Amino acid sequence: MGMMPVERLHLKHVLQTVCALEAVVLRSFGPEGGQVLFIRDTTEAMLSCSGTRILTALRLEHPVARMVVECVWKHSTATGDGSKTFILLLASLLRMIHTAACKEPNVSCTYNSREAAETAAARRLADKLLAFALEELDDLITMGVIPYGHSHTSNHSLQRLLVSFFQTRLGYTHCDFISNLICELLTYWRCKNNPPSLSLQFINDNFPALHTPVSGFPVTCSRLVEGQVIHRDFSTPCSHTDCEPVKAVVFTGCLQLLERVIAILQSLGISVLLSAAKQSAAVLALARQANICVVECISEDELSLFIQLSGATPVSDCLMIEPEHVATLTFCRPILLGAHRYENIVTPCSLVICGPGEGQTDQYACAFQDAIRMVLTTLEPVGMTATTASKEILQLHKTTSSTPPPLQQCLLESGYVIPAGGTFEFLLHHAMLQHGCESSVCDNTNMDIPAVTQLLAKALLSIPQKIYSHSPRHFLETQTRIFKENKQSMHCCTKADLSQVLILDFGLESVSCKYQLLLAVLQCVTSLLRVDTVLCTHSASQTKSHRLPDIS
């Protein structure tokens, strides 16, 4: 066996790979971004502007590219948003790190090449950036961004947040319709005595069982239906009407001792049998004679949801059926969705997602669930340290003659949103520059802080620059207006409403999503630059992959 090919990985190689990915997603980024046309192996054509879908559809050969896409996928899976911005910000940071590393003198004569020295310098800088973000970022966002946002407690704010999200994922045509549908779903499942995050988490965890994809119809045919849709048809006839309640049990295995089991079911008044396993022809025949409806081969997700909602305990021993195994349903009926007939049983509601083809329907379903994750992430507060709280109280004390409010009134609430279109990046850029100036004056022992904040602040501006790439004049005007309002509000008790300042209305976006995105990008930068060597392995069955274009 010969020696496996080994490739030393330097900063320029990482930058080339990420820039190639940037060129791919840049085409669909921002308000003027278009959709990408995919041709699958089945010759099916599909359009998409979803960053995650675009990136995961690429056949990537280089392990660095696959590593980056894996980082993007993990982030977007957790937060539901930010995949394109992730790549653009990652590329911008790496370019600036590369520029800064090239300016540093060789740190040691032991390095064999300038490339190795630059890579080592880049690693140190990436570590400092990540350490700075972990220690300071939440405070900077709390002081410099949060005051210009507001908590998304109203339906109007939620609607604008969702519309902005769907515009970047599915385009402008149906974003209002889809946003209204999501709002209706959240309203149906929201419990009065529980925080919204619990309902959102429940919907996210059970989304596979809570939605039904239906191909061959326009997306505007999507709707909510009463009850849970179990994606199996009745194996025996269903003779129930909506006006009569029915009793049901869940079996986890195959039925044995059939006559005795059927007799027990009849004595308990059970008329619906839900089964995870496929039952024998004899079971179905006896159930049909006893007027018991049987639904078999139900998925684990759907049975789990039914058990959670009904409170019934699944039956493991078919001869030991107790009252806790029995669920009472207000209805149990067949439902026809597209070309398929399913079972429909009582729950608050389910979501029917329609699309012209299977690929489009799947894309809409992914966007729906990502929207749920995005709103759930929005409700997570950006952390506030005691230092930030003290600064906020001190600032309020300076600007008001009354007694400063209690500490708990200053702590950051969850659910903060801010006008989209680069507002977050503009404000955080300004806050970082101010922090860098203050640090250079107050802390002469750590001269790296101003350099780190300036680098990160400059990288942040690359996002609004790309958003306004179709109109650089709008970029400059928006930046000037936000910075002007920021400066004026420093001398006032209240912060400006930036929605009245912005030239263009891009809707709203989540502060928590942006915070988590920035941390994820910095962690990805650090991980990428820690890779020393690429070991290339090939198997005989490995198919040829498409290489990323080389960026010189």
Q: Do 232 and 286 fall into the same domain? A: yes
User: Could you tell me the residue range of the domain that residue 470 belongs to?
Assistant: 136-154+383-527
Tell me what pLDDT residue 161 has.
92
Centre a 10 Å sphere on the Cβ of residue 538 and count the other Cβ atoms it contains: 8
Q: Do 404 and 502 fall into the same domain? A: yes
Q: Do 147 and 289 fall into the same domain? A: no
Q: What letter would DSSP give residue 499?
A: G
Sorting pLDDT into bands at 50, 70 and 90, what band is 114? confident
The radius of gyration computed from the CA coordinates of the chain, to the nearest angstrom, equals: 28
Q: What letter would DSSP give residue 146?
A: G
**Segment 211-228 mean pLDDT:** 93
Please count the structural domains in the chain.
3
Q: Do 240 and 145 fall into the same domain? A: no
Please list the alpha-helical segments (H only) found in 80-193.
Answer: 83-103, 114-144, 155-170, 175-189
N residues, the chain: 552
Q: How far apart are CA 371 and CA 50, in angstroms?
A: 12
Burial status of residue 537 (CB atoms within 10 A of its CB: 0-12, 13-18, 19 or more): exposed
Tell me what pLDDT residue 494 has.
54
Per cent of the chain over pLDDT 70 is 80
Per residue in 194-204, pLDDT tens?
777 888 899 99
Residues facing 534 on adjacent strands:
7
Tell me what pLDDT residue 495 has.
59
| Amino acid, single-letter form, for residue 534 | V
Whether 257 and 280 have beta carbons less than 8 Å apart is answered as no
Q: Do 431 and 297 fall into the same domain? A: no
Q: Do 453 and 509 fall into the same domain? A: yes
SS3 294: strand
Q: Is residue 117 part of a domain?
A: no
Sorting pLDDT into bands at 50, 70 and 90, what band is 498? low
Q: Do 145 and 240 fall into the same domain? A: no
Per residue in 540-550, pLDDT tens?
444 444 344 44
- Give the contacts of 395 (CB within 8 A, at least 6 positions apart): none
Q: Do 450 and 518 fall into the same domain? A: yes
| Between 460 and 493, the higher pLDDT residue | 460
Q: Do 419 and 452 fall into the same domain? A: yes
For residue 221, pLDDT over 70 is answered with: yes
Q: What letter would DSSP give residue 315?
A: B
Query: What phi and psi values does residue 445 have, to the nearest 5 degrees?
Result: -80, -20
